[in-house]
Structure 1
Amino acid sequence: MSDFRRVSSRVVYENRWMAVREDEFERPDGSRGVYGVVDKPDFALVIPFENDGFHLVEEYRYPVGRRAWNFPQGSLPDRAAGAPEELARRELAEETGLRAGTLTRLGTLHASHGTSNQHVHVFLATDLTPGEPSREPEEQDMRQAFVSRDEFRKLVREGVIADDSTVAAYTLLLLHEEGLAR
């Protein structure tokens, strides 16, 4: 906030997954405003890739009121911080049972920079070994499926895959592959 100066801050709500704070700030011209910020821990998103396709997970997403397909992703319980690579390995194994022989960092994105300070650390998982998932209680309705790359693109075009982090991570994968092809 180099151009904006925080004058005050107060937490207006919190639970084990997030906190919402209200900041009063001063603009460069001296006028003041209020901003609501959702404080959430960073999360990891993993693209499990093999045989020119992806392993996806689907679960009910309460805020949007529907089931949604996406790449495995998540954060540590109780807003804890952790090393992104360790978190990626944990989420992949927890949600899919897969273990990655190779984990390649593709980049870091802002998850929702207009409302939150959360980042998503994106990884490509290859050399996959199957295992049993170990899902959290909130993930008890989670399903898993393998889709070809063509099917993935079709699901994005049709709006079946509408998770912004999943679509953005796919873009990072394409840029990574483009760099390898040079």
Structure 2
Amino acid sequence: MKPIIQVSSREVYRNKWMSVREDAVRRPDGSDGIFGVVDRPDYAVVIAVRDDRVALVEQYRYPMGARRWEFPMGTVPGDYDIDPADLAARELREETGLTAGSLVVLGRLDVAPGIMSQRGWVFLATDITEGEHDREHEEQDMHFEWFDRSQFEEMVRTGVITDAQSIAAYGQLLLHERS
């Protein structure tokens, strides 16, 4: 069966972080349809591990209207070609002040493949050196803290951590450790 074919596309919104487009498509059976697509550059999630503890950041997530704990992660607005390892190192240093002597790719994540083109890279960061963070203006209320892995798991179990990327990334870490 052939894939869905894009017939036309128009951008309906853009800011420095994302764009939204509406695509007219033709389905495999010949019928027409539309897709709304959010385009964003790829992101990196970084699991920094030291002495069986993981580094988490907490910040206010405006769309959720609440503060959330999660692994350091992010993207560079408008940069669709940044090297994933460079992005991971940048996000880790920017949000926590940590520098990793070793970064290992654990896997990939698709945020919301039904509506978004953005993909994620998951990294394990070890051989950690502490320094000063260099947060973006939007991250001025961010807080960084180390947690025992058992604390992290309890935070997931009790709904304190609900960030899907962080939970999926931790699953990739567990699979990596078992291989």
Q: TM-score range by the shorter chain?
A: over 0.9
Once the two structures are superposed, what CA deviation does each residue of 1:2-31 show, in whole Å capped at 9, x if it has no partner? 521111100000000000000010111111
Query: What percentage of residue pairs aligned between the two structures are identical?
Result: 53
Deviation at 1:81, TM superposition (A): 2.8
1:55 is matched by which residue type in structure 2?
A
Q: Count matched residues.
A: 179
Asked whether the 8 Å contact 1:17–1:79 carries over to 2, the reply is no
Deviation at 1:80, TM superposition (A): 4.4
Distance 1:94 1:153 in 2: 25
Task: Give the corresponding residue for 1:139.
Answer: 139
Give me the CA root mean square deviation: 1.2
Task: Give the corresponding residue for 1:6.
Answer: 6
Once the two structures are superposed, what CA deviation does each residue of 1:84-137 show, in whole Å capped at 9, x if it has no partner? 000000000000000001111101111111110101000000010000000000
Task: Give the corresponding residue for 1:94.
Answer: 94
Asked whether the 8 Å contact 1:18–1:79 carries over to 2, the reply is no
Superposed, 1:6-155 pairs within 5 Å as 6-155=6-155
Give 5+ residue unaligned stretches, structure 2: none
Q: 1:2 to 1:63 in 2, by over 3 A?
A: farther
TM-score, length-normalised on structure 2?
A: 0.97
Give 5+ residue unaligned stretches, structure 1: none
Asked whether the 8 Å contact 1:104–1:124 carries over to 2, the reply is yes
Runs ≥4 in structure 1, deviation > 6 angstroms? none
Once the two structures are superposed, what CA deviation does each residue of 1:132-169 show, in whole Å capped at 9, x if it has no partner? 00000000000011110110001001111111100000
Asked whether the 8 Å contact 2:41–2:77 carries over to 1, the reply is no
Asked whether the 8 Å contact 2:42–2:80 carries over to 1, the reply is no
Deviation at 1:79, TM superposition (A): 4.2
